Amino acid sequence: MRVAYWFSVASPWTWLGSARFAQLVAQSGAQVDVLPIDLGAVFAASGGRPFTERPEARRTYRQLELARWSRRLGVPITLEPRYYPVDRTPASHLLIAARRQGLGALDLSHALLRAIWHEDRDISDWSTLRQIADAAGLDGASLLEDALQPAVAEAFQADTHRAIAAGVFGAPTFIVDGERFWGQDRLDFLAERLARK
């Protein structure tokens, strides 16, 4: 079983589902392709709008829903992080570097999401990213060196184009055998799908 896990490293919805998704794939034995994407490019291709460009009614309702889900799931969240919006490119490149090295990219993705949404840290800062990688038991210096390679930037863009081609329009999106599941609130459906494999 293989799950394509398309997400943004600064998505609060991805944060709310991150630990549950990791638990689900561990229980099911599924393999995960960790695929950070440029959500701005995905929105541009699919008609979505960045949070800061949405009408006030949509922005305020999003905050209400995040707070509700945080309480429901028992997952703490900082609704207005100091470093948000944030440049997602450095953290995305760090994850791709971990993936290329065959390291724990899924665990690192959770650490990056926790950094912005619970610890209020700047995931666009390279020194912060090195600290996060080191704390996750990885070689932060080696990952940063790899993350700065042109091949990683190319992989980030290629993955984003593949996401658009696959019909991804938001984060997180999980795809199993071509079937899409959008949002942390669809994890129960994803579990049912994996159970049928």
Is it the case that residue 121 has pLDDT exceeding 70?
Answer: yes
User: Can you tell me the mean pLDDT for 26-36?
Assistant: 97
User: Can you tell me the mean pLDDT for 105-121?
Assistant: 98
Please enumerate, as own/partner, the contacts of 10-13 that have beta carbons within 8 Å and a separation of 24 or more: 10/39, 10/84, 10/85, 10/86, 10/88, 10/91, 10/116, 10/123, 11/39, 11/113, 11/171, 11/172, 12/66, 12/77, 12/117, 13/66, 13/170, 13/171, 13/172, 13/183, 13/184
* Host H or E run for residue 130: helix 126-135
Evaluate whether 152 touches 100 at the Cβ level (below 8 Å). Answer: yes
What per-residue confidence (pLDDT) applies to 137?
96
What per-residue confidence (pLDDT) applies to 197?
67
Q: Locate the domains of the chain by residue range.
A: 2-195
CATH code at 2-195: 3.40.30.10
Q: Which residues pair with 114 in a beta bridge?
A: none
User: Can you tell me the mean pLDDT for 44-51?
Assistant: 93
- Residue 90, class by beta-carbon neighbours within 10 Å (0-12 exposed, 13-18 middle, 19+ buried)? buried
Q: Do strands 2-7 and 31-36 pair parallel, antiparallel, or not at all (unpaired)?
A: parallel
The one-letter amino acid code at 21 reads F
User: Can you tell me the mean pLDDT for 4-26?
Assistant: 98
Is it the case that residue 134 has pLDDT exceeding 80?
Answer: yes
Quote the percentage of the chain above a pLDDT of 70.
99
- Summarised one tens digit per residue, pLDDT across range 67-100 is 999 999 999 999 999 999 999 999 999 999 999 9
Tally the C-alpha atoms within 13 A of residue 186's C-alpha that lie toward its C-beta: 18
Q: Which residues pair with 6 in a beta bridge?
A: 35, 173
- Residue 159, class by beta-carbon neighbours within 10 Å (0-12 exposed, 13-18 middle, 19+ buried)? buried
pTM over 0.85: yes
